[in-house]
Amino acid sequence: MVTASYSEEKLFELGKTNYDKLVLYCHRLEENGFWEQAEQVMKQSSTEVLDLYVQSVLMNLAVHCGRILEVQRDFVCAVTATNPLGVPEEGNDIPVNIYSDSRRLYELPPILLQLCGLYDKQNHGDMTEYFLDSFLNILLCMAYLDKGRDEKVTEFIELYYAKISNFLINRTVEENAAYIEKKLSSEEISCDVEWLRQRRVKMVPSGGVAVAEIKPAPVTDSDALEKPVKKTDKKKAKTGKPQISDKEKEELKKEKERKAREEKELEEKRKKELELKRLAFFDRVEEEARLAKEREELEEKEAKEQFMLVKQRIKEREQAEQAAKEKRMKELMDELYSLVGLDDVKQEIQSLTNLIKIRQLRAAMNMPLMDMSYHMVFTGSPGTGKTTVARLVGKIYKELGILSDGKMIETDRSGLVAGYVGQTAIKVHEIVEQAIGGVLFIDEAYSLVNPDVPNDFGGEAVDTLVKLMEDHRDNLVIIVAGYTEEMKTFLRSNTGLISRFNKFIDFPDYKNEELIEIMGVMASEAGLKMEDAARQKVLENLCKLTDEERVDFGNARGIRNVFEKIVMNQANRLVQIENPTKEQLMSIIAEDVQ
């Protein structure tokens, strides 16, 4: 096949021009009533059927050539008025169902050509020839968009023409061969119907009837002697023109019929071979599509299995993390409950923890949530466990996801208030930056506000603190601590404090029995054991304290001082014993208590 030197734009234009001719022929069929019966059956207009048929044949051409270029795909979409096959206008992948649909439609009889033949028969016309010529031109436009596929294109067009040439009832086998050869060898895409007609005229002799020239076999001398000269032979001698006997005519006729049969058999054989090639190609395409689908299903199955494994590992890791978190929470709550006394404090922390857990469950279910502040006020005398509980609260909040770190930074007035203008805000910023992600514990917070001292910078510290509490409300908890009455005065000093600190936990003074229990814990941690007499003596000393002395005693801090003094007395006693035993080193007796 000769490759025409057309640009892509020109090939698109020629394809559209020939398509427009086909549309005109379709309109002529409809106008003359040849489409009425077909429309009742097919429920489509002639142009709708035309678009479907054109796209189907073009797709079969592309498949036969082994590929479809992007420009060819664009041509399939652009040459027809509609896109009935649903060929994608973008991307290189074309769904397999489009190939299978185009193959099925390609196999159906070309109804439009059949009706063109019926029209020609009734009107002595030649619309079938022109229709087919325009259709072949569209195929050539498609073919020339893919250079280097001449052999495949020629094979397909010859196969297609052999399939539909039966509808051209006025053409001989020789004319069909000459026409398709001209179509494939021409350097331009044009109408070749007139060329075929001119060729017929050139083959007609002067007598007016187109016949093939027949030359008789040469006559030898022996033939002349054996056969008497007939009257026709004399006439032949006189006229100088060869005369053919009836027997020779019969033999020539038989020879012509034999050659015609052979040609027909060869043509049928060639058609079958081409059809087998085409079917084999489609079978290969379908097999590749089946294998691709199997691979896709296998990959999808493997991906799903892999996803399930990953999902299972994530689930197991989340369960392990949750179990570890619950274990840590239990350990923290056990540590809280191991503290001596503070029953109300423990209950408050437990209730707060439960509230946070339920709030998180409501959030996970997209339920409405009430605003909640995590900042707290610890009130009570020194030594009642406020710092210890604040440290545990930071760790608990981390496990609950309220804080990212869970650490505790402890400070007081000296860590927040400076003695110069402009320095206080800087100190507050620095200490808050250290505490982000955890708890900032401010002991004796009431000392920040001192209305009796003029030009005190404590108010500036409180104002700065209130602002930073808002800026870091999602990852910072502040706990302020101090005496009950003083803390009430402190909170009233700034309206911002009252709105942010709405959780109050009171730490009562320890009872004497609780202080003795605390001392027992201290002794156990130090590897010591207090005798009952020693415990009883400490209890008696505690009961002798006056109210004033009790205020200065300091609860757990005071009992620690007492314990440290007892340990010192034990050491002074044991140093006088030569080679004391382990039991003596571990025992605290009444003598050690003063």
Of 159, 187, 202, the residue at which a domain comes to its end is 202
pTM for this structure?
A: 0.50
Residue 18 makes CB contacts below 8 A (sequence gap 6+) with: 134, 135, 137, 138, 141
The more confident residue out of 286 and 136 is 136
Nearest CA to 199 out of 181, 223, 178, 220 is that of 178
Same-domain status, 458 and 536: no
- Structure token digits, residue 207: 């007598």
3-state SS assignment for residue 355 = helix
The answer to whether residues 491 and 556 belong to one domain is no
- The enclosing H or E element of 486 equals helix 484-492
Kindly report which listed range (217-226, 455-464, 526-535) carries the lowest average pLDDT score.
217-226
Half-sphere exposure in the Cβ direction for 417 (13 Å, CA): 20
Asked whether residue 324 is domain-assigned, the answer is: no
- Class of residue 407 by CB neighbours under 10 A (exposed 0-12, middle 13-18, buried 19+): middle
CB 73 within 8 A of CB 88: yes
Instruction: Please report the pLDDT score of residue 223 as a whole number.
Output: 40
Most confident of 76-80, 165-169, 233-237, 551-555: 76-80
First to last CA, the chain: 123
Can you give the length of the chain in residues? Answer: 594
Find tokens 């325009």 and name the residue: 134
Determine, yes or no, domain membership for 327. no
Establish if 171 belongs to a structural domain: yes
232: in domain: no
- 123: its two tokens: 């009107």
**Radius of gyration (Cα) for the chain, nearest Å?**
54
Non-local (6+) Cβ contacts of 252 within 8 A are: 214, 244
Spatial contact of 87 and 62, defined as CB atoms under 8 Å apart: no
Q: pLDDT tens digits, residue range 371-410? A: 788 899 999 988 889 999 999 999 999 998 889 998 999 9
Check whether 212 has a pLDDT greater than 60: no
Give the Cα-Cα-Cα angle 416, 420, 423 (nearest 5 degrees).
50
For residues 379 and 478, membership in a common domain is answered with: yes
CB atoms within 10 A of CB 555: 22
- 423/415 Cα distance (integer angstroms): 11
Pair 525, 498 in one domain: no
In a domain, 180, yes or no: yes
Q: What is the mean pLDDT of the chain?
A: 84
Q: What is the pLDDT of residue 216?
A: 37
- Answer with the one of 448, 479, 507 that is the final residue of a domain: 507
CA dihedral (310, 313, 317, 322) in degrees, to 10, reads 100
- DSSP helix/strand/coil, 378: strand
527-571 pLDDT, tens digit per residue, is 999 999 999 999 989 898 888 888 888 888 899 999 999 999 999
Q: What is the dihedral of CA 505, 431, 460, 458, to 10 degrees?
A: 60
pLDDT tens figures, 337-367: 888 888 888 898 998 889 888 888 888 888 8
Q: Distance (Å, rounded) from C-alpha 354 to C-alpha 350?
A: 6
User: Where are the extended beta strands (E) located within 372-423?
Assistant: 376-380, 408-411
Main-chain dihedrals φ then ψ at residue 509, nearest 5 degrees? -65, 150
pLDDT at 277: 67
Residue-level pLDDT at 210: 44
Output the domain CATH number for residue 587: 1.10.8.60
Number of CB atoms found within 10 A of residue 506's CB: 13
**Is residue 32 domain-resident?**
yes
Residue 61 sits in the same domain as residue 105: yes
Phi, psi of 321, deg, nearest 5: -65, -40
- Considering only CA atoms, which of 353, 324, 321, 356 is closest in space to residue 337? 353
65-107 pLDDT, tens digit per residue, is 877 888 888 899 999 999 998 888 876 677 878 888 888 888 8
List, for residues 280-300, the tens digit of each pLDDT value.
Answer: 766 766 777 788 788 888 988
Q: Assess whether pLDDT exceeds 80 at residue 454.
A: no
The candidate with the shortest Cα–Cα distance to 60, out of 158, 149, 156, 165, is 156
For the chain, count helices (H), then strands (E).
Answer: 25, 7
DSSP 230: P
Q: How confident is the model at residue 204 (pLDDT cuts 50, 70, 90)?
A: low
Tokens of 161: 């023409």
Q: Which residue shows structure tokens 């239990």?
A: 330
Statement: residue 202 has pLDDT above 90: no
Q: Which of 88-92, 120-124, 153-157, 407-411 has the highest mean pLDDT?
A: 407-411
DSSP 178: H
> Residue 175: inside a domain, yes or no?
yes
Residue 172 to residues 166, 168, 200, 316, 388, Cα–Cα distance (Å):
10, 9, 11, 80, 111
Q: Does residue 452 surpass a pLDDT of 80?
A: no
DSSP conformation class of 196: H
Q: Which pLDDT score, from 0 to 100, does residue 257 have? A: 85
pLDDT value for 6: 84
**Residues pairing with 70 in the sheet:** none
Domain span at 586? 512-592
Same domain? For 440 and 581 the reply is no
Residues 55 and 68: their CA atoms lie apart, in Å, by 13
Higher-pLDDT residue of 498, 320: 320
Tokens 């009562």 label which residue? 508
Residue 520 contacts residue 338 (beta carbons within 8 Å): no
Q: Tell me which of 322 and 280 has the higher pLDDT.
A: 322
User: What is the spatial distance between Cα 206 and Cα 387, in angstroms, rounded to a whole number?
Assistant: 129
What HEC string does 412-477 produce? CHHHHCCCCCCHHHHHHHHHHHHHCCCEEEECCHHHHCCCCCCCCCHHHHHHHHHHHHHHCCCCCE
For residues 410 and 546, state if they share a domain: no
**Amino acid letter at 472?**
H
Domain count, the chain: 3
Instruction: Return d(Cα 96, Cα 292) in angstroms, integer.
Output: 10
Residues 455, 520 share a domain: no
Q: Are residues 455 and 527 in the same domain?
A: no
16 burial class (0-12, 13-18, 19+ CB within 10 angstroms)?
Answer: middle
The single-letter code of the amino acid at 1 is: M
What is the predicted pLDDT for the residue at 433?
Answer: 93
Q: Which of 477, 507, 537 is the last residue of a domain?
A: 507
DSSP E strands in 495-572: the ranges are: 504-507, 529-530
